A and B are shown apart, each in its own frame.
Chain A
Amino acid sequence: MPERLNLSKRCAVFMDLGLLKYSTALDLQIQTLQSKINKSVKEDRIFFVEHPSVFTLGKRGGEENLVVSRDFLTAKNVDFVQTDRGGNITYHGPGQAVMYPIVDLEKNKIGVKDFVHGLEEIMKRTAMDYNIDADRNLKNHGIWVKNSKIGSVGISIKRGISFHGFAMNINPDLKPFSWINPCGLTDISMTSLEKEIRKSSTNNYDLSMERIKNTFIKYFSSIFSYSIIKTNAN
């Protein structure tokens, strides 16, 4: 019977942007968001990206949580960008896997809370795939391994459509996090998948972005019931 096509199923196009400047990726998010608002793009889009080193501020700032000077950042060749996402200051850099789902939450009847919870769940399960016990923490949103943060979430919603997303530390240089109070919190440390794996094992694990990407796709698809079509950015 030809009754197998389910038109109501959630569908997203997944695009790997590779290593892309934060501001360029933000422009692409905003463009996509506008195209979805004016209905010229119907399907949801998910961007996967790594950024060259950058500090980003949340809608209400966070520069007070920068513990080094702007001149210091300029000398280290680290960008500084104001954004309209939730949350406080954060750092992005190579070795951190970032996902920006531009998803029509309203149309797909996904509540904000469920969506944020689901994004956290993707990071939690990804860590668990490497036998790292990661979970939520009452201190703050995001995903933690004991008292160290491994992944952060910060989304915005315009006309019922989400943008911004989450970032998980796979094997980045963690030093730049010490130049800020991440997310506005003092006395916390950041960790990465690589750092946690090394604590417990001498085995070699595949921490390639290709594998992480496919893990994110797998869990996004199962957690939010999406069929996902992969494309390459050009």
Chain B
Amino acid sequence: MKEISDLNLPEDVKYTKDHEWAKLDSDIVTIGINDYAQDQLGEIVFVELPEVGDTFSEGDEFGSVESVKAVSEMYIPISGEITEINEALEDAPELVNESCYDSGWIIKVKPADVSELDNLMDKPAYLDMLKG
């Protein structure tokens, strides 16, 4: 298991307390699980995805990731409508382990209120939370 100092935590995304990440590009937010979460879960064997067009409120469960050890739910950090899901994960869930911020992204959301992103943590705040 990785030490906190070895975690890959990019500066240009925001973090949730449930170890998801979110990144705003023009008016769409991309969401995935972060390096800590994928490392903790171990080899991911299945990602349960929502449907395009589903709408969620901030904090709702939107899917789950299953590893050889555990099933863990994922919670959406921003209210809005799913515009895209990463269909590649259906055949290659291991992308979440290999590249959690890039080809292992999970959903894209059109936010109802982009200011909800302000509630998320930047890298230093997230690191503080991990260190407890």
Within 8 Å of chain A (Cβ to Cβ): is B70?
Answer: yes
Interface residues on B, range: 20 to 34
Contacts of B8 in A (CB 8 A): none
Total CB contacts across the A-B interface at under 8 A: 56
Selected contact of A59 from candidates B17, B40, B66, B68, CB within 8 Å: B66
Within 8 Å of chain B (Cβ to Cβ): is A4?
Answer: no
State whether A113 touches B69 (Cβ < 8 A).
Answer: yes
CB distance from A161 to the nearest CB of B (A): 10
Within 8 Å of chain A (Cβ to Cβ): is B39?
Answer: yes
State whether B1 touches A111 (Cβ < 8 A).
Answer: yes
State in angstroms the CA–CA spacing of A141 and B45 once bound together. Answer: 13
State whether A86 touches B132 (Cβ < 8 A).
Answer: no
- Of the candidate stretches A11-19, A149-157, A168-176, the one touching chain B is A149-157
Within 8 Å of chain A (Cβ to Cβ): is B72?
Answer: yes
Q: Mark A137-179, 1 if CB is under 8 A from B, else 0.
A: 0001100000000000111111110100000000000000000
Known: A156-B71, A157-B71, A158-B73. A114 touches B66 (CB 8 A): no
State whether B46 touches A157 (Cβ < 8 A).
Answer: no
Known: A113-B39, A113-B41, A113-B42. A157 touches B73 (CB 8 A): yes
Selected contact of A84 from candidates B18, B40, B68, B71, CB within 8 Å: B71
Selected contact of B66 from candidates A86, A116, A153, A160, CB within 8 Å: A86
State in angstroms the CA–CA spacing of A160 and B73 once bound together. Answer: 9
Within 8 Å of chain B (Cβ to Cβ): is A60?
Answer: yes
Known: A60-B46, A109-B132. A86 touches B69 (CB 8 A): yes
Contacts of B132 in A (CB 8 A): 109
State whether B40 touches A60 (Cβ < 8 A).
Answer: no
CB distance from A158 to the nearest CB of B (A): 5
21 A–B contacts, CB within 8 A, in A order: A59-B48, A60-B66, A84-B71, A86-B70, A112-B40, A112-B70, A112-B72, A113-B39, A113-B69, A114-B1, A140-B68, A154-B70, A155-B69, A155-B71, A156-B71, A157-B71, A157-B72, A158-B73, A159-B73, A160-B18, A162-B70
Rank and list the top 3 A-B pairs by shortest CB-CB distance, nearest first. A157-B72, A86-B71, A116-B69
Q: Which residues of B contact A (CB under 8 A)?
A: 1, 17-18, 39-42, 46, 48, 61, 64, 66-73, 75, 132
